[in-house]
Amino acid sequence: MKFPNYYTLPQKIGMHGLRLIAWLVLAFLMVPILVIVPLSFNVEPYFSFTPGMMALDPDAYSLKWYSEFMTDDKWQLAIRNSFFIGLCATVIATVLGTLAAIGLSNPVMPFQRLIMAMLLSPMIVPLIITAAGMYFFYTKLGLSGSYLGVIFAHAALGTPFVIITVNAALAGFDFSLMRASMGLGATPTYTFFKIIMPLIRPGVISGALFAFVTSFDEVVVILFLAGPEQRTIPREMFSGLREQISPTILAVAVLLVALSAMMLFTLEYLRARGERIRTGSY
């Protein structure tokens, strides 16, 4: 690591110390996640490293837990539910969050901060309180224990993430472009899809990914609202830990980590692309 010539010895030591702390924090966050990867290939039904695994014996490793995840009926139902509920909730959250962010970014919008605080409250209020409130509210509407109720609940949890990302994409938006389009005779719909959307598309996609991940790994609301037919992957994992401990849970966790990593790289790509669009550097 090369330092500028004007750095003193204490400054160099401080920079090295800061770098060391950063690596320690990264290890603190990543080691508990990465340790499940080899455990998911354990041929024995244990949550620990066997002597054969420590000796790198090929017979101590197996893909049978991944095969069980792909063939078991309960896990298949959980996979279908997770993707169906997640995609439906993402569509609703993306539409509502995008429209809300555009409205709140308009300078003439009254009570912007108050409305923004209310819309972001699902991120701030403890999830157990939100889930309990949703349970009592949806029960009166007859939505508890139904796909529609779970989708609406997950959409409510994902909408704040869409608002934040789209609002960030609109930070440098020039509303004179919208007024010019309207002044030239364009309809509001045409202006939205041809003027506004191309400029905020990276933020919208990023918000949609955040909303999908929020729905995909949510378990508290599922415990309150879902019926037997709405069991998702996190709900099945929760049940597996409490009722029947199986290394299949580790295999599922590895797959979820891989999915999250792919989405993280996608978000980073979209963030960099949005930054290039804002600065005009292609």
Let me know if residue 216 belongs to a domain.
yes
Helices (H), 8-126: 9-34, 36-39, 51-54, 64-71, 73-105, 112-119, 121-124
The CATH number given to whatever domain includes residue 104 is 1.10.3720.10
Give the pLDDT confidence of 7-19 residue by residue, as tens digits. 777 887 888 888 8
Helices 233-243, 248-279: crossing angle, 10 deg rounding = 150
Structure tokens at 5: 């010539």
Let me know if residue 212 belongs to a domain.
yes
Let me know if residue 39 belongs to a domain.
no
Domain count, the chain: 1
Let me know if residue 195 belongs to a domain.
yes
Q: Of 143, 104, 106, 121, which is closest to residue 226 (Cα–Cα)?
A: 143
Let me know if residue 32 belongs to a domain.
no
Structural domain boundaries enclosing 178 = 73-279
Q: What is the pTM assigned to this prediction?
A: 0.78
Give the pLDDT confidence of 74-86 residue by residue, as tens digits. 888 888 899 999 9
Give the C-alpha separation, 4 to 90, whole Å.
48
Let me know if residue 8 belongs to a domain.
no
Let me know if residue 209 belongs to a domain.
yes
Give the pLDDT confidence of 241-252 residue by residue, as tens digits. 766 677 788 888
Mean pLDDT to the nearest integer, 209-226: 87
Give the C-alpha separation, 189 to 178, whole Å.
11
Give the pLDDT confidence of 158-182 residue by residue, as tens digits. 999 999 888 888 876 777 777 788 7
Give the C-alpha separation, 211 to 160, whole Å.
8
